[in-house]
A and B are shown apart, each in its own frame.
Chain A
């Protein structure tokens, strides 16, 4: 891991203020990203089917994403991994003609239960997208505050949470003097971290990431992978990636999907060194995909 600027003073400050105080250090004490630890919630997917119109893209999947862990979903293009993940925060149904069946439980809450408000679900389950997408007409701090403003957070409380989110993603030092400048003025990697800050500012329980580094250069990618490693101490993270090395680097658990089915799911180590299914073995050794 690449160590970044030392921020010990701020780290101690953080430990003294809100959140659930606990160990605030990670493996890299020099990291500028700082995330307070918190017990997370698991996500249990049962019998999930996803459709685009009449065409079934995900065929009945059962999988559990453990709390405070990073689970990577890998598989060839078109295998349904992004579709499956987008069902978790009910973004899949925003596509005209698309719908999903089955149950997805965040703790005891089935997000597909009748009467569940999707906007509330999306507060709890955040998403980071493939291409960094800060709101183009908003400044850096307004971008991070966007979700918070929706629920009426304002004033000092709002500022404090924006700053905290920026610190958590390690962007604070780079932007603290230009919080009012447009979000688009940042580099690609910074923009993606800005989007992550925006996502965690509303304090979700789960973060879904859909190929978050595919549009970034290797240096930026590495910074984000470091960040993901820290974020897991507070959130449950599911990351879709077509980059197997990335999955090996960041994920505790890995799931392999093929043609809309979940083929295999287990500790990352095993998936890559001792896969149980032959198809998994062929994919991870590069024989196809």
Chain B
């Protein structure tokens, strides 16, 4: 560099090429976020466009029927079936999942066994849901456990297996956020560990646990593959979990294959219902998580 005076004119400016590359890259990043959100917008748009017209009359109050002509019925059995299946699955997955997470954070901590459990929970996250379906099929369906081949409760178990790793992992993250000082204070007062858990740890992490549970439920509701091999498909409304049950994802899956336009239309209506439920659960979950965010 010369020893001459520095002025605005002598300022060595950045090359045009560098400036253009910078601009282009930034443009690409803006483009990327747009591209990423387009499918979301489109899917929701088409769902509403094609599905909302179905939300009328007896759509939610009649069961689908196999008629070739005339009224094809609604999605009542699918909707109620889904709710029942997810209800059973959640009733198992959420307590068990939180229980395992509690074990990991309160008792096992960094022991070899606890780390092995964590590793396997991570393994479970990567397992395709169809493999869970196969598992239940092999262990419960073929051998007619409980006196039935396909049954609602078996599908619920498959969905439970799917939900478990989600509940466990998100619960563990939340439980770890509870400051250790709180635990230690309670222990120092002489409280036994289970008490510390019920009185201190759980209440503090409650909204985070709710978030994780809601997200797991939302995930479970949308699964089709595990149900195909375990609950199969029926159009009937039934509350008995030991028989075939209908569910929204399977109903949709079936209807897509139909050559009749009216049945396909029903698929859109059912899909809109399913997505509405799932999105509402997601939004509630995230609202909870915002309130509980400690970081």
Asked if the two chains touch in their complex, CB atoms less than 8 Å apart, one says yes
Question: B18 in the interface, Cβ–Cβ < 8 Å?
Answer: yes
Question: B1 in the interface, Cβ–Cβ < 8 Å?
Answer: yes
Give CA–CA (A109, B8) in the complex, Å. Answer: 5
Q: Are B3 and A38 touching (Cβ within 8 A)?
A: yes
Question: Which of chain A's residues has its CB closest to B4's CB?
Answer: A107
Question: B6 in the interface, Cβ–Cβ < 8 Å?
Answer: yes
Binary flags per residue of A122-134, CB closer than 8 Å to B gives 1, else 0: 0110000000000
Question: A20 in the interface, Cβ–Cβ < 8 Å?
Answer: yes
Question: B13 in the interface, Cβ–Cβ < 8 Å?
Answer: yes
Q: Are B1 and A120 touching (Cβ within 8 A)?
A: no
Query: Given contacts A203-B1, A205-B1, is CB(A124)–CB(B6) below 8 Å?
Result: yes
Question: A119 in the interface, Cβ–Cβ < 8 Å?
Answer: yes
Binary flags per residue of B6-37, CB closer than 8 Å to A gives 1, else 0: 11101111110010000000000000000000
What are the residues of chain B within 8 A of A108 when measuring CB–CB? 5-8
Binary flags per residue of B181-218, CB closer than 8 Å to A gives 1, else 0: 00000000000000000000000000000000000000
A231 CB → nearest B CB, Å:
15
Question: A152 in the interface, Cβ–Cβ < 8 Å?
Answer: yes
Give CA–CA (A115, B11) in the complex, Å. Answer: 11
Give CA–CA (A38, B8) in the complex, Å. Answer: 21
Binary flags per residue of A109-151, CB closer than 8 Å to B gives 1, else 0: 1100101110111011000000000000000000000000011
What are the residues of chain B within 8 A of A38 when measuring CB–CB? 3
Question: A39 in the interface, Cβ–Cβ < 8 Å?
Answer: yes
Question: Which of chain B's residues has its CB closest to A115's CB?
Answer: B8
Query: Given contacts A203-B1, A205-B1, is CB(A106)–CB(B14) below 8 Å?
Result: no
Q: Are B3 and A20 touching (Cβ within 8 A)?
A: yes
Question: A41 in the interface, Cβ–Cβ < 8 Å?
Answer: yes
Query: Given contacts A150-B18, A151-B15, A152-B15, is CB(A116)–CB(B1) below 8 Å?
Result: no
Q: Are B14 and A120 touching (Cβ within 8 A)?
A: yes
Q: Interface residues of A, CB < 8 Å — how many?
A: 23
Give CA–CA (A39, B2) in the complex, Å. Answer: 9
Q: Interface residues of B, CB < 8 Å — how many?
A: 13
B151 CB → nearest A CB, Å:
55
Give CA–CA (A36, B87) in the complex, Å. Answer: 78
Give CA–CA (A205, B6) in the complex, Å. Answer: 10
Q: Are A107 and B7 touching (Cβ within 8 A)?
A: yes
Q: Are A107 and B13 touching (Cβ within 8 A)?
A: no
CB within 8 A of A106: which of B3, B6, B13, B18?
B6
What are the residues of chain A within 8 A of B1 when measuring CB–CB? 203, 205
Query: Given contacts A150-B18, A205-B1, is CB(A120)–CB(B6) below 8 Å?
Result: no
What are the residues of chain A within 8 A of B13 when measuring CB–CB? 117, 120
What are the residues of chain A within 8 A of B10 when measuring CB–CB? 109
Find residues 134-186 in chain B having any chain A CB closer than 8 Å to their own CB: none
A50 CB → nearest B CB, Å:
23
What are the residues of chain A within 8 A of B8 when measuring CB–CB? 108-110, 113, 115-116
What are the residues of chain B within 8 A of A152 when measuring CB–CB? 15
A120 CB → nearest B CB, Å:
5
Question: Which of chain A's residues has its CB closest to B12's CB?
Answer: A120
Q: Are B3 and A107 touching (Cβ within 8 A)?
A: no
Give CA–CA (A237, B69) in the complex, Å. Answer: 88
Give CA–CA (A160, B12) in the complex, Å. Answer: 21
B254 CB → nearest A CB, Å:
52
A122 CB → nearest B CB, Å:
10
CB within 8 A of A119: which of B6, B7, B14?
B14
Question: Which of chain A's residues has its CB closest to B11's CB?
Answer: A120
What are the residues of chain B within 8 A of A113 when measuring CB–CB? 8
A41 CB → nearest B CB, Å:
6
What are the residues of chain A within 8 A of B3 when measuring CB–CB? 20, 38-39
Q: Are A107 and B6 touching (Cβ within 8 A)?
A: yes
Q: List 29 A-B contacts (CB under 8 A).
A: A20-B3, A38-B3, A41-B6, A106-B6, A107-B6, A108-B5, A108-B6, A108-B7, A109-B6, A109-B7, A109-B8, A110-B8, A115-B8, A116-B8, A116-B11, A117-B11, A117-B13, A117-B14, A119-B18, A120-B11, A120-B12, A120-B13, A121-B11, A123-B12, A124-B11, A150-B18, A151-B15, A152-B15, A205-B1
With A116-B8, A124-B6, A205-B6 given, can you name 9 additional A-B contacts, CB distance below 8 Å?
A107-B7, A113-B8, A116-B11, A117-B13, A120-B11, A120-B13, A120-B14, A123-B12, A124-B11
Which A residues contact B (CB, under 8 angstroms)? 20, 38-39, 41, 106-110, 113, 115-117, 119-121, 123-124, 150-152, 203, 205
* A-B complex: 10 closest residue pairs judged by Cβ atoms: A107-B6, A108-B7, A39-B3, A109-B6, A107-B5, A119-B14, A120-B13, A120-B11, A106-B6, A203-B1
